[in-house]
A and B are shown apart, each in its own frame.
Chain A
Amino acid sequence: MHEMGIAKSLLEIIKREMKKSKVKRLKKVRVKIGELTAVEPEALRFCFEASIKDTALDGARLEIEDVPLTGKCHDCRTRFRFQHFVSLCPVCGGKKIEKLTGTELDLVSIEAV
Chain B
Amino acid sequence: MHDILIEEKILSENDAIAEANRHAFNEKGVFVINMVSSPGAGKTTLIEKMTPVLLDKLGRFAVIEGDLEGDLDAVRIAKYGVPVKQITTGKACHLDAHNIAHVLSWTLDQDARLLIIENVGNMVCPAEYDLGEDMMVTILSAAEGDDKPLKYPAIFNASSALIISKTDLAPHTDFNISTARTNALSINPELQIFETSCRNGEGIKEWCKYLCSRVLALRGPVKTNR
Interface residues of A (CB under 8 A from B): 1-2, 5-6, 9-10, 12-13, 17, 21, 23, 27, 31, 36-39, 84-88, 95-97, 103, 105-113
Nearest 6 Cβ contacts at the A-B interface: A2-B125, A85-B153, A38-B154, A95-B189, A38-B127, A86-B186
Given known A-B contacts A17-B4, A36-B153, A109-B6, A9 and B11 have beta carbons under 8 A apart: yes
Give the size of the chain B interface in residues (CB under 8 angstroms): 34
Contact with A along B1-35 (1 / 0, CB 8 A): 11111111111111000000000000000000000
- How far, in whole Å, are A110 and B2 apart by their CA atoms in the complex? 8
Q: Is B112 an interface residue (CB 8 A)?
A: no
Chain B, interface SS category: mixed
**Min distance, Cβ B106 to any Cβ of chain A, angstroms:** 24
Interface residues of B (CB under 8 A from A): 1-14, 92-94, 96, 124-125, 127-129, 150, 152-155, 157, 186-189, 226
Given known A-B contacts A38-B125, A38-B128, A87-B187, A21 and B4 have beta carbons under 8 A apart: yes
Q: Offer 16 A-B interface pairs, CB within 8 angstroms, sorted by A.
A: A2-B92, A2-B93, A2-B128, A6-B128, A9-B14, A27-B1, A36-B153, A37-B154, A38-B128, A39-B128, A95-B189, A105-B9, A105-B10, A106-B8, A107-B6, A109-B4
Given known A-B contacts A13-B10, A36-B157, A105-B10, A5 and B4 have beta carbons under 8 A apart: no
- B residues near A108, Cβ cutoff 8 Å: 5-7
- B residues near A109, Cβ cutoff 8 Å: 3-7
> Does the CB pair B10–A106 fall under 8 Å?
yes
Residue of B nearest to A1 (CB): B93
> Does the CB pair B6–A87 fall under 8 Å?
no
> Does the CB pair A17–B11 fall under 8 Å?
no
**Min distance, Cβ B7 to any Cβ of chain A, angstroms:** 6
Q: Which of B12, B124, B152, B226 contacts A103 (CB 8 A)?
A: B226
- How far, in whole Å, are A112 and B5 apart by their CA atoms in the complex? 11
